[in-house]
Amino acid sequence: MIDAVTLAVLKGRLEQIADEMDATLFRTAFNPIIAEAHDASHGLYDAETGDTLVQGKSGLPIFVGVMAFAVRATIAKAGRGTLVDGDVFIFNDPYDGGTHLSDFKLVRPYFHDGRVFCWLASVGHWHDVGGNVPGNYNPVASESYQEGVHIPPVKLVDAGRLNDDIVEILSCNSRQPTSLYGDLNGQVNALDLGAKRLGELIAEYGAETIATAFAELRAMAARLMRAHIRDLPDGTYSAEDFLDNDGIADRPLRIALDLTVTGDRLTMDFSRSAAPCAGPVNIARSTAIASCYVALKHVFRDVPANAGCLEPVDFVIPEPSILAARAPKPVGGYTETILRVIDVVFQALAHAAPDRVNGCAYGTINALSLAGHRRDGRRWVMFSFFGGGLGGNPEGDGLNHGNAPISTATIPPLEILEAAYPVMFTHWALRPDSGGPGRHRGGLGAVYELELLEEQADIFLFGERGRFAPPGVVGGRPGALNRFTYPEGSALKSPPMASKMVGLSITRGQRLRLETPGGGGYGDPRQRPAEAVRRDLRLGYLTPEAAKRDYGTDGNGS
């Protein structure tokens, strides 16, 4: 056992190690998606099982679950060879390690007294890793080979020596090799720092005390999660939601959950979900489990971020299915599907714990890629994601123009995008009437309009919620639908697949416009205080027509 004060101190110190690793990569990465948007994560993992022990507070929550699978894949690979201090493995296998090919995982064993004490791991979203579409969000991919280069677990660093051949292979398969090289070295340096800080901590407290702290923190997370589940009424609670399409066949795809509470255990059954699809909205089983973890952490916020969270949770995910895809099914748009998994968890739990759950967030990252050549012949690739409204909640309105609930990443600032790429944003504003009506309104989505400053660019969009709006809960209503428009002749057009687009080219001075969804509302809109409606009207969040329609008042007493 370990006393409560020492445990609290060690919890903070261990989290600080992961936080410093996060900060090191954010400061050194060349790619704005890591450096500015913080699409990366670091943590410490169990020596034998690969289970999550500690994760940094700035890293993406979705990586907590999937990185455990990534470390297990590394352990399996390392078991077939010689493992020594200073080794680092690298890979991006989306079926073993989860997520998609853009997310490169680096995994390093930490040795103490000649044995692996734990694993350190880093994951970051690289700028471009090959495939048919610059930036790798290919909405019409029918195989993972069309999404990027696929690297199994291999030794990047052997006993402290960098394998330059691996680096050359990776660089050769990227449209942005300089960005790749910078991000790769940032991740290696983050692991070096983590190993140094962990060594200092062990020298101060001793390996046995640190190992005991790992076990206690996991047990604490499991106890807290069991207690929260025990507070829910026993029963089965069901919800379903839909993806617009898979980018190839224009048919909706069901994501369905039957959530059963039995005492202090939770069963999450996704058997009614769609089969694997032709397009790139499939996800691996590890990714589905990780998205459930993120949803549960939103509801039960005091549970520490480690593997103990999921000890009282059982998963039923048929294989294969859209939530348990196998190679070479395309998985590049995994973000859209995990957002829908989170949404159905919120909707199901709203029946069991209405005082805890918020309305669904805007439900799409709207991955937009622009690619072209500068006047001097250099290639440029802009990849970014965009924000929207978060759901209304029991305590208040949803956040306006927030980021997706899969992450703590930030939306890249327009100043950074304009400085790095030949584009100019002519509109960057909140979208009126986009928040779902409710006693607590959903947050507002945004309106982005950008103009091309170079001669020509190819455009690729991978989005969702163009046909199925973000639902509200407890009587709240949906937010606005996603909307993307582009020029065609003298008219503005929208993609036939609603929010997915390839084969589009624009020229200098032409503009793209993206109007993102708001979050779903919480509670009956007619219970919203009149002063809150008047404030929304005063701030321009709501038009008089929408106020009259949704809240029964136009703000003037009628």
Structure-block tokens of residue 114:
């000649």
> What pLDDT does residue 415 have?
95
User: Is residue 304 a contact partner of residue 220, using CB atoms and an 8 Å limit?
Assistant: yes
Residue 211 has pLDDT above 90, yes or no: yes
Residue 82 has pLDDT above 70, yes or no: yes
Residue 326 has pLDDT above 70, yes or no: yes
CA pair distance 140, 247, nearest whole angstrom: 5
Average confidence (pLDDT) over 403-407: 80
Please state the pTM of the whole predicted model. Answer: 0.95
Alpha-carbon distances of 94 from 321, 329, 382, rounded to whole Å: 15, 10, 23
Q: Nearest-CA neighbor of 38 among 48, 28, 47?
A: 28
> What pLDDT does residue 213 have?
97
Averaged pLDDT score across all residues of the chain: 95
- The one-letter amino acid at 412: P
> What pLDDT does residue 408 have?
64
Average confidence (pLDDT) over 428-441: 98
Residues 172-208 have pLDDT tens digits of 999 999 999 999 999 999 999 999 999 999 999 999 9
Residues 6+ apart with CB under 8 A from 100: 94, 136, 147, 331, 332, 333, 334
> What pLDDT does residue 410 have?
77
Q: Give the pLDDT band of residue 409 (cuts 50, 70, 90).
A: low
> What pLDDT does residue 97 have?
83
Residue 347 has pLDDT above 90, yes or no: yes
Residue 558 has pLDDT above 60, yes or no: no
> What pLDDT does residue 56 have?
83
- The one-letter amino acid at 56: G
Tokens 């449209």 sit on residue: 175
- The one-letter amino acid at 203: A
> What pLDDT does residue 98 have?
83
Q: Give the pLDDT band of residue 96 (cuts 50, 70, 90).
A: confident
Question: Is the pLDDT higher at 408 or at 388?
Answer: 388
Residues 408, 254, 397: CA angle, nearest 5 degrees: 40
No. of helices (H) and no. of strands (E), the chain: 11, 20
Residues 461-515 have pLDDT tens digits of 999 999 999 999 999 999 999 999 999 988 999 999 999 999 999 999 999 999 9
For the chain, the structural domain boundaries read 4-222, 358-527
